Amino acid sequence: MLVSSSSSKMQSKGHLLMFATKKDIPCAILGLITMVIASVGSPIQTQIYGEAFEKLSKYVSGEYRSIGAFVSDIRLLCGLIMVVGVVRMVFTWVSIHVWLIVGERQQKRARKLLLTGLMRQNLEWYDSKENLMGTLAQVNRCIEEIRVATSENVALLVQGTSAIIFLLISAMISSWSLTLVIMASAPLMALSSVVFGKLTLRFASKENSSSAEASKVLDWCFVSGNLVRLLNGKYEDSVSFNRIVDSSAKAFTKMTLAICSSQSVLRTLSFLIFVQGFWFGSFMVSTGRLSIGQVFTAFSSCLLLGTHITTVASVLALLNKGQAAAATIASFMKKDDYFTLGDPDSAEKCFDPIVTGRRIRFDCVSFTHKNSEKQSLHDLSFELRNDNINFIIGPSGCGKSTLVSLLMKFYSPNCGAIVV
What's the average model confidence in pLDDT over 273-293? 78
Query: How many CB atoms lie under 10 A from the CB of residue 195?
Result: 14
What's the average model confidence in pLDDT over 62-67? 80
Q: Does residue 179 have a pLDDT over 60? A: yes
Give the start-end residues of each E strand in 273-411: 359-368, 375-385
CA–CA separation, 222 vs 227, rounded Å?
10
In a domain, 249, yes or no: no
At 331-348, the pLDDT tens digits run: 777 754 454 434 444 444
Predicted local confidence at residue 396, as pLDDT? 76
Predicted local confidence at residue 228, as pLDDT? 65
The residue among 126, 151, 173 that closes a domain is 173
Predicted local confidence at residue 89, as pLDDT? 92
Predicted local confidence at residue 71, as pLDDT? 85
Q: pLDDT confidence of 303, banded at 50, 70, 90? A: confident
What's the average model confidence in pLDDT over 85-101? 91
In a domain, 117, yes or no: yes
At 205-223, the pLDDT tens digits run: 888 788 878 877 777 777 7
In a domain, 340, yes or no: no
Q: Does residue 351 have a pLDDT over 60? A: no
In a domain, 308, yes or no: no
Higher pLDDT, 40 or 17: 40
The residue among 173, 203, 222 that closes a domain is 173
- Which structural domain range is residue 91 located in? 16-173
Rounded to 5 degrees, what angle do the CA atoms 28, 34, 35 make?
A: 85
Buried b / exposed e over 106-132, threshold 16 CB at 10 Å, is bbebbbebbebbeebbbeebebeeeeb
Query: How many CB atoms lie under 10 A from the CB of residue 81?
Result: 15
At 35-61, the pLDDT tens digits run: 999 988 888 888 888 888 888 888 887
Q: List Cβ neighbours of 385 (8 Å cut-off, separation of 6 or more).
A: 358, 359
Question: Is 0.75 surpassed by the pTM of this model?
Answer: no
Q: pLDDT confidence of 14, banded at 50, 70, 90? A: low
In a domain, 298, yes or no: no
For β-strands 375-385 and 415-419, DSSP reports them as unpaired
SS3 396: coil
Higher pLDDT, 282 or 9: 282
CA–CA separation, 332 vs 129, rounded Å?
11
Q: Does residue 230 have a pLDDT over 70? A: no
In a domain, 222, yes or no: no
Q: pLDDT confidence of 368, banded at 50, 70, 90? A: confident
The residue among 141, 173, 205 that closes a domain is 173
Q: Does residue 90 have a pLDDT over 90? A: yes
Cβ(248)–Cβ(211) below 8 Å: yes
The domain tally of the chain equals 2
Predicted local confidence at residue 357, as pLDDT? 54
Q: Work out whether the CA dihedral 276, 282, 288, 293 comes out positive or negative.
A: positive
**Residue count (the chain):** 420
Predicted local confidence at residue 355, as pLDDT? 52
DSSP line for 254-268:
HHHHHHHHHHHHHHH
Query: How many CB atoms lie under 10 A from the CB of residue 214?
Result: 23
CA–CA separation, 364 vs 413, rounded Å?
10
Question: How far, in Å, are 93, 95, 162, 278 from residue 309 at the CA level?
Answer: 21, 20, 11, 20
At 391-402, the pLDDT tens digits run: 888 887 787 888
SS3 384: strand
Q: Does residue 168 have a pLDDT over 90? A: no
Mean pLDDT of the chain: 79
In a domain, 369, yes or no: yes
Q: Which long-range contacts (CB under 8 A, 24 or more apart) does 369-376 make?
A: 369/124, 369/127, 369/402, 370/124, 370/127, 370/128, 371/127, 371/128, 376/402
> Which of 177, 174, 197 minimizes the C-alpha distance to 314?
197
Instruction: Report which secondary-structure segment, H or E, holds 82.
Output: helix 67-119
In a domain, 153, yes or no: yes
